[in-house]
Amino acid sequence: MTQTQVDSSHEAQLTKQLVQEDVPRLLSRWQLVAVLACLLFAILTATIQVLSWNANRQAANNTEQLVRVQNIQSTLFRADALATTAFLTGGLEPPEQRAAYDEAIETITRQIAEAAEAQPADRDALAALNTAVTEYNATIAQARANNRQGFPVGAEYLRTASAGLRDTAVEGSAIPIVQALVAANAERAEDELNAQHPFLILLPGLAALGVLYWVNRQLARRFHRRINIGVAAAFATVVVLTVVGFFVAAIQASSNNDLEAGSYDTSYRESTARTAANDAKANESLRLISRGSGQVYEDRWVVASETVEDNASTETLPYWADYVAVHQDVVRLDTEGQYDQAVELSTTDTTLDAFDARSQEVIADAGFQTTDALRGGNTGILVLGFFTLAIGIAAAGLVTWGIGLRRREYA
């Protein structure tokens, strides 16, 4: 059989096949499949990108809320430290210490309102916290009123207020509530920080590429051209969008991991240290108020001090060491029977204030770095999402155009 005979036989077979098949209908079907693949790819990839954008936004919001509730926690302990220390100085407490206590309570009240505004899921817990803080403040007021008259029951009110603040055996105690708020917001922030999924973004792309490859093969089998230019262009577009999407998500995931181990962690741990530092100071005062019966407070001081040393940043640890040296002097004086000197040292020392001030700066800086980094490059992901949607729809148009060429050719 000659070459001419072979060609004519093949053409005849193709013509016969095309005559047997309803080609326009097949073309419409392939076109529909390819267009749907492109559109689904565009919608799903864009959705994942919008989800990533939103996760970063939420991570920033949750980090802000975490910093806020941790600040409430630290300030509560600071208020308690101020109240207990003021008690040591006698019936008439120094006006500046009273003012610092009042300012701490005002800060707490304001931040509770801000936190309730920022996170609806925290509202019930914050309402319970507000009640606990009001009760604490009222008991401190009773302690003051009695202390000003020289009655020892004032010290008992103070101990009750301090214990009630921390007591896990009492329903609605402030510190357990604020600890629950810290835990919930830390979990939310960390979940959102880990919500970047580069490999997930590959799935719609790979699925769309598979469909486009199959459609191209069907066309190639029925027509003389191996590649349909429209389908190939859509294929290339999907490849580019998928690769870009993957790398952007991978970079974001890596950046979030760095944040979680970096500034986020610094902010969280420094807040933990600041809370424990103020708890330690309150226990130092309670030790002195209880005098010989104060060992239980010294034991709590030791636990709080270990928490500070485990969590404080390198910026604040030297300040803590200064305070620890003073505390050891206070304990030595108290143990040696020089109680008045111990009280004098404890009430006039400002090393803890220095730690607290520096610690607040570290927390504010680290918290800002975290939220700034999360929000800074985040708009790009949203733009990429819209871009993916638009170009994905354009890819569907390319497929329509490419298969349209074959339809015209057949006609």
Candidates 42, 44, 233, 342: give the one binding other proteins (CB under 8 A). 44
Nearer to other proteins, 230 or 294 (CB): 294
**Alpha-carbon torsion, ordered 322, 328, 329, 332, to 10 deg:** 180
Contacts for 201 with CB less than 8 Å, ≥ 6 apart: 45, 48, 49, 242, 245, 246, 249
> Does residue 377 bind other proteins (CB under 8 A)?
no
Q: How far apart are CA 27 and CA 145, in angstroms?
A: 90
> Does residue 48 bind other proteins (CB under 8 A)?
yes
Query: What residues between 80 and 119 interact with other proteins by CB under 8 A?
Result: 90-92, 119
Candidates 23, 32, 33, 47: give the one binding other proteins (CB under 8 A). 47
Contacts for 31 with CB less than 8 Å, ≥ 6 apart: 399, 400, 403, 404
Angle at 158 between CA 152 and CA 163, to 5 degrees: 130
Nearer to other proteins, 31 or 139 (CB): 139
Number of shown-chain residues binding other proteins (CB under 8 A): 55
**Residue 160 CB, nearest approach to other proteins (Å):** 6
Candidates 72, 81, 128, 399: give the one binding other proteins (CB under 8 A). 128
Angle at 350 between CA 348 and CA 353, to 5 degrees: 135
Tokens matching residue 139: 């008991």
Nearer to other proteins, 94 or 172 (CB): 172
Percent of the chain as helix, strand, coil, to the nearest 5: 90, 0, 10
> Does residue 120 bind other proteins (CB under 8 A)?
yes
Nearer to other proteins, 271 or 313 (CB): 271
Residue appearing with tokens 């029925």 = 222
Candidates 23, 39, 58, 375: give the one binding other proteins (CB under 8 A). 58
> Does residue 5 bind other proteins (CB under 8 A)?
no
Angle at 293 between CA 290 and CA 295, to 5 degrees: 100
Contacts with other proteins, 333-352, as mask; x by CB under 8 A: ----x-xx--x---------
**Residue 256 CB, nearest approach to other proteins (Å):** 16
The answer to whether residues 166 and 152 touch, using CB atoms and an 8 Å cutoff, is no
Q: Which of 24, 47, 85 is nearest to 323 (CA)?
A: 85
Candidates 5, 150, 408, 411: give the one binding other proteins (CB under 8 A). 150
Nearer to other proteins, 173 or 283 (CB): 173
**Residue 396 CB, nearest approach to other proteins (Å):** 19
Query: What residues between 155 and 174 interact with other proteins by CB under 8 A?
Result: 155-157, 160, 168-173
Q: How far apart are CA 23 and CA 45, in angstroms?
A: 32
**Residue 365 CB, nearest approach to other proteins (Å):** 27
**Residue 74 CB, nearest approach to other proteins (Å):** 18
Tokens matching residue 281: 């100071």
Candidates 292, 314, 408, 411: give the one binding other proteins (CB under 8 A). 292
Contacts for 198 with CB less than 8 Å, ≥ 6 apart: 246, 247, 249, 250, 253
Q: What are phi and psi of 93, to 5 degrees?
A: -75, 150
Q: Which residues bind other proteins (CB under 8 A)?
A: 44, 47-48, 50-51, 54-55, 58, 90-92, 119-125, 128, 142, 146-147, 149-157, 160, 168-173, 176-177, 179-181, 184-185, 188, 204, 290-293, 337, 339-340, 343
